[in-house]
Structure 1
Amino acid sequence: MSTVEPPSAECKSAVLQSLSKVRATVQQCQQNSGVFTDARLVAVSKYKPASAILAAYDAGQRHFGENYVQELCDKAAVLPSDIEWHFIGRLQSNKCKALAAIPNLWAVETVESAEKAHKLNDAWHSARNHRPLNVFVQVNTSGEANKGGVEPHQVEDVVRNILDSCPALHLQGLMTIGSIAGSQQRPNPDFCTLAELGNGLRQKTGVELELSMGMSDDFEHALELGATNVRVGSKIFGTRPQKETIASATATS
């Protein structure tokens, strides 16, 4: 049976301090915007060891985000079952079955086509999970060729496909990874585009859609523009190590 190495006292202290600051910032940003319901904070734990995740878990954090399917599978197998995992990496059709095997997968934030939505729907249904899987439609708001996501003018088609043909999925909202150039602008054009799309789709479909936007460097501004789900990694866990230097991100036997 695999076990997780407990976090050191130094790690627990550092993570608790950073997490508390981020939580306070989220609350303050929302109050400044006239919103008093906490946005969901997703602690992005990519490349971080399971012990660091436990430090955040012990501080009350439950939503965690991972970019790689195998890393998510490995961590989910050894960490507490009440963690609510978010997959935030590029979704590949051949990985849907592996994701569906994680019973406490809370959301896939990177659905970028009707085809992938159907693959994920079938996989989640086949795994006989007891609840629908939350999904966000990823939108390429910047038009960058290297970015994942559906083009803004195609979002409605994907949204309607999920609503009409994917009973094992629950449409949670829209998601974007903004451009570097956009992050330097105020207001951020990527966040504005996502908010406009969300408002338009609410009017057309009658479905309330969350907005997943903002990361460590710009989550405060994202909250000002209506984000309900922010993905924060380095501000909580510190700078990530390079992938090739990681010996193990999960358990020790």
Structure 2
Amino acid sequence: MASTAQLPSSERRAEIEANLGGVGNAVRQSSSASGARLVAVSKLKPASDILAAYASGQRHFGENYVQELCEKAAVLPADIKWHFIGRLQSNKCKALAAVPNLWAVETIDSEAKARKLNDAWAAAGHVHSLNVFIQVNTSGEANKGGVEPLEVEGVVRAIGESCERLSLLGLMTIGSLDGSSRRPNPDFLCLRQLRDSLGARLELSMGMSDDYAHALELGATSVRVGSKIFGTRAPKPV
């Protein structure tokens, strides 16, 4: 499908290209991040901003809201690789599965939601499996989504045994504000140690605009960067 979105002004395009180049160079130059993936978080940004980043070679984009992802996917190039990084609701699985170029859902937080997404993906008739990450609540914050660390092994097992249309790619965490100011970041260490304890070759999706460089130092294979590329976001309309 050809894009129907328009590029932004030349000034805005130059700004996004420069920001993306800076972040991309930092990711590529990290000594511990051979092949690390940069996911440009484009939530609440117009499709024109995404197209500017796309024109610079960026292909992986992250969205937090299902409706927004669906709307953008309908007007942007079909070879974009969309990551859903918002809190997953069971009743939104069908809508997500309808996006043909959905590349990954990074916020699986229960066995039940994994099965729901698996069934929705199968019902949508995709011939390939869907990449998923298990979100882990490494900080123990009550208001934060994710599986408790002690429950991760059970979700891993459930995906492997009963979700044949899902491909478990890795573990994901959103670090706490307190943790982001500490070195080493305890949330990132927790995710890495949990991955190692599972004895599986899983990716680590961790690190955002303020701490992605440190996350790469601790072994992140995928970082989710928004404001460093697109600038600050306006509040979501109520």
Q: Give the TM-score taking structure 2 as reference length.
A: 0.97
Query: How many angstroms apart in 2 are the aligned matches of 1:168 and 1:38?
Result: 25
State the identity as a percent.
68
After TM superposition, the runs of 4+ consecutive aligned structure 1 residues lying more than 2 A away are none
Inter-partner Cα distance in structure 1 for 2:82 and 2:16:
18
CA offset at residue 8 of structure 1?
A: 1.2
The answer as to 2:233 corresponding to 1:240 is yes
Q: Considering only aligned residues, what root-mean-square deviation do their CA atoms show, in Å?
A: 1.3
1:44 maps to which residue?
41
Over 3 Å counting, the alpha-carbon distance change for 1:2 and 1:195 in structure 2 is closer
2:105 counterpart of 1:112: no
Q: Could you give the per-residue CA deviations for residues 73-117 of structure 1, whole angstroms, max 9, x where no partner exists? A: 000000000000000000000000000000100000000000000
**Counterparts of 2:183 and 2:3, CA distance in 1:** 47
**Matches of residues 74-93 of structure 1 in structure 2 within 5 Å?**
74-93=71-90
* Number of equivalent positions: 237
Q: Alpha-carbon deviation of 1:2?
A: 8.9
Match of 2:23 in 1: 22
Equivalent residue letter for 2:125: R
Secondary structure at 1:78's aligned position in 2? coil
Q: Tell whether 2:177 aligns with 1:180.
A: yes
Q: Secondary structure at the match of 1:231?
A: strand
Task: Indicate the structure whose relative CO is greater, using CA pairs within 8 Å and at least 6 residues apart.
Answer: 1
Name the aligned partner's letter for residue 73 of structure 2.
A
Counterpart secondary structure, 2:74: helix
SS at match of 2:107: strand
Letter in 2 for 1:119: K
Alignment partner, residue 57 of structure 2: 60
Residue type matched to 1:225 in 2?
L
Gap regions ≥5 residues in structure 1:
246-253
Q: Indicate the residue corresponding to 1:103 in structure 2.
A: 100
Per-residue deviation, residues 152-190 of structure 1 (Å, max 9, x unmatched) = 000000011001110000000000001000001100000
Q: 1:216 aligns with which of 209, 216, 236?
A: 209
The Cα of 1:118 is off from its aligned counterpart by: 0.1
- Match of 1:198? 195
- Partner Cα distance (1:85, 1:237) in 2: 17
| Structure 2 match to 1:250 | none
Tell me, in whole angstroms, the C-alpha distance in 2 between the residues paired with 1:127 and 1:208: 28
Question: Within the alignment, does 1:227 sit opposite 2:220 as a pair?
Answer: yes
Q: Which runs of 5+ in 2 are unaligned?
A: none
Matched, 1:124 2:117: no
Q: Secondary structure at the match of 1:243?
A: coil
Q: Could you say which residue in structure 1 is the equivalent of 2:13?
A: 12
TM-score, with normalisation over the residues of structure 1? 0.91
Mapped to 2, the partners of 1:244 and 1:71 lie a distance apart of 12
